[in-house]
Amino acid sequence: MTGSPNGMLFVATDIATQDEADFNQWYDREHVEERVRVPGFLSGTRYQALHGGRKYLGLYKTESLASFTSAAYRAAFTQQTPWSVASLDKMRDPMRRVCAVEAVTGQGCGSYLAIVNLAPAQPEVLKASISHLGALLAEQPGFVRSSLLSPDAELSSPLPKESRENRHLLPMLLIESSSAEAGQRLSELACRQLKIPAAEALHYALGWQLTTQELSS
């Protein structure tokens, strides 16, 4: 991979049952499009948990980490709409990370996503390890894409309801697959290779995705 890596905004949260309908309406009708319209953003993708982790996950891919330092993004982040302010306040145990997307193997967007939190390591060592693992996973049926998310401490400012205590910015392995069965199998293989308990992997199903090419004027 050459040049600057893509960036990724990772936002996961739980939400109270009574707030879910409005929360999803906000995400689907306002927030995803609002973010994808920010210059430098490439896509916004929503997921829902199948096993482990916070119930809702949003991933926003950007051209690079520089997209998160632009005036347009700062304005979007600091000048939220009233609906956004209300929705952010309803989040339970949210988690926000801004990451570099590295060690990418494969292409496309899988309908299922597995996430494995990794122990901190030297960046180049970790990238080499995940690249090697990606090549192994790519040989398996149902594999779509794998990547390493490396959080940027300066850019990963917390959400209003996010706890500041014991906030660990751990690297994450993302494995995208074409079926739930493949996602389970691939995550188990990855965890064996990484010597991480398979039960620690989080599993999500794709909800929907919006790309810049699909935006209406």
pLDDT band at 2 (very low <50, low <70, confident <90, very high): very low
Instruction: Check whether 83 has a pLDDT greater than 80.
Output: yes
Q: How many Cα atoms sit within 13 Å of 209 on the Cβ side?
A: 17
Whole-number pLDDT of residue 1:
41
Lowest mean pLDDT among 8-17, 72-81, 96-105, 147-156: 72-81
Alpha-carbon gap, residue 89 to 71, rounded angstroms: 24
The predicted pLDDT at position 50 comes to 97
Among candidate residues 208, 140, 139, 216, the one with its CA nearest the CA of residue 179: 140
Q: Could you tell me which CATH class the domain 6-214 is placed in? A: alpha beta
- Tracing tokens 């306040």 back to the chain, one arrives at 89
Tell which residue, 106, 131, 114, 115, has the closest CA to residue 184.
114
Tell whether the model's pLDDT for residue 3 goes beyond 70.
no
128-186 pLDDT, tens digit each: 999 999 999 999 999 999 999 999 999 999 998 899 888 889 999 999 999 999 999 99
Q: Which two tokens stand for residue 25?
A: 């309406």
**Contact predicate 139/190, CB 8 Å:** no
Neighbouring CB atoms inside 10 A of 163's CB total 11
How much is the pLDDT for 4?
Answer: 77
Calculate Rg over the CA atoms of the chain. Answer: 17
What pLDDT digit, counting tens, does each position of 4-62 carry?
Answer: 799 999 999 999 999 999 999 999 999 999 999 999 999 999 999 998 899 999 999 99
Dist CA 177 CA 151 (whole Å): 23
Spans of all domains in the chain: 6-214
Write b or e for each residue in 119-152: b if 16 or more Cβ atoms lie within 10 A of its Cβ, otherwise e.
eeeeeeebbebbbebbeebeeeebbbbbbbbbbe
Residue 44, beta-bridge partner list: 60, 210
What pTM, to 2 d.p., does this model score? 0.95
